[in-house]
Every structure is written in C-alpha cells, then in structure tokens.
Amino acid sequence: MSNTKQYFYLAGLPRTGSTVLGEILNQNINIHVSPASPMSEIIYDLVTKWQQNQDSLKAYQHDDQLGNVWKGIRDGMYRHRPEGIIFDKSWAWQMNDPVNMSRKILNEEMKVICTVDNITDCLASFIMLIRSNPDYTSFIDEYLMAENRPLTDENRCAAMMNPQIATSVGWCHSNLKKTYLTKNRDNLLLIERADLVAQPIDSINKIYEFIKCGDMSVWGKSQTHYFDSISKEITENDGIAYGIPNLHKLGPKLRDRSWNAKEVLGNQLFAKYKKMEFWRTKAKR
C-alpha cells in the first residue's frame, strides 16, 4: 500500500458524465475515483472553525498546524485505498474558496477535473428521469412541494437553476463560472461530455497531461482503458438518496444521449436556458 498519495479532484455540472468518467479512470490500477464524497464539507468546516477559534490556539500554535490537520483528514479518508492517485469527487471543489485555501494553507495548487455539457441537456436529463419514475418523489419535487409550487417542468427547471440551492445545476454553474473568471481557471480542466463520448482517448490523455501522470499510451497493458466495458465500483441507492432511481446508473458502453433536449423541454424552456455555456466564449478573468 502506497504511503504517499497524490490528490486530485472531480467536479463540474450534474448530469454531464462525471460518474462514467470516474469509472473509466478507475480502470487504471493506480487511480481511485471516489463516489460523492463529504471531504470538501469536512475540510471547509475545519478551516472555518480553526479561523474562528484563534484565541484558544494562542498557547499552542504552529505555522503548519492547520495544514497538517487538513492533510491528516485527507490521508485518513483514503488510508484504506492502495492506489497512489486519488480523485475526490464533490461539486464544491470547483469553487474559489477551496482552491484559494489549498494554495494558502497547503501551498498546493489544487487540480480539478470538471465535466460540462449544454445546460439544456443537464436539465432535460433530470426531467427525463423524473418522468420515467412516477412512483418516486425526486428531491426536486420535494423542494417544490415544500414551497407550495406546482410540479411542472417549468418549475422544476427553475428550481434546478436556482443558484441558492446547494449542488443544483444553477449552484454548480454559478460557482464554476466564478472560478473560471479568475486566475484559478488554470486549476480547472473542463471536459465536455460530447468530447468524452466522441474522443474518449483524447479526453483521458488530457486528464493525464493535466495531472502530469504521463500519456495513456505508455502506461502499459494493465492500465488500458476500455470504453465498451464500463462497470461501477460502488453502486449508490439513488432512489433513497435522491428520489430518482438509477441517477448514477451506467451502461456497459460509452454512448451519446438517445434523446433531444429541445424535444424534452419544449421550445420555450429550451430557449430560456440555451447558450449559458460561458466556457465556450472568450471569457475574461
């Protein structure tokens, strides 16, 4: 078991292929990609409470103390994994705060892989899943019912695009944009879902180059990636967790969507949420 691990991070937008990308990377015996992880919240709480309790630390404080505790949490969470390269998955990692805190406290440049796609496709994917599981109440519908709002696709899309709802499409989009428009853009590698499907080898090689782990072609047979034989290492109970069964279900093959977002959402909703992909323009920092 490796005593020294390299840590990287997986984030982006919901319904853009982060799960399938993680499982492709997991085919590499040197890499472990976690399912949704609580580590970002734990680290954020640690730093916040540390900064709020400076008086109690006056008698015993060392410059490296906070960083050592952070590293201890990180290493402890993945001590059971033999792989030397860890990708922790959380939508929070693409925010400016953790990138800046890592630079200041750990003297490390956080590297975050972010899967992205058309916002209309993200929304339509959720709508399709909700429609196909009428016996379940999704976390989106639970929010709307708590707000006494009708369960319409228009209201569902509005809720999903609300940047105040943590981990929603809108929340992830807003935070990714804020980071992308700063110097921290260099800490992000955006992987388009369409590129992952059409040119998977190129996408994986971009990731290896970004994390400086070498080209995929020289890793040897045991590290070869298979795009027609993809399986999940850990299966989540999405019906209980999110009210949407099979939210993270994977087919055995990497494939494109079988539906059209405009047909799913209708002309009005499609027009409302199209062209929100800021990373495809020459955005200034």
pLDDT tens across 223-238, in order?
578 888 777 766 655 4
Query: What's the pLDDT score for residue 250?
Result: 63
Which helix H or strand E contains 175, and what residues bound it? helix 169-180
Identify the CA nearest to 250 among candidates 9, 24, 88, 10. Answer: 24
pLDDT, tens digit, 9 for 90 and up, residues 139-196: 899 999 999 999 999 999 999 999 999 889 999 999 999 999 999 999 999 999 999 9
The answer to whether residue 69 scores a pLDDT higher than 80 is yes
For 76-116, what is each residue's pLDDT tens digit? 999 999 999 999 999 999 999 999 999 999 999 999 999 99
Domains for the chain: give ranges and CATH numbers.
6-280 (3.40.50.300)
CA 2 – CA 30 distance, rounded (Å): 10
Label each residue of 216-245 as H, E or C.
HHHCCHHHCCCCCCCCCCCCCCHHHHHCCC
Average pLDDT, the chain: 88
Strands 85-89 and 6-12: parallel
Kindly state the DSSP code that residue 258 receives in the 8-state scheme. S
Q: What's the predicted TM-score (pTM) here?
A: 0.90
SS3 assignment, position 129? helix
pLDDT digits (tens, 9 = 90+) for 149-163: 999 999 999 999 999
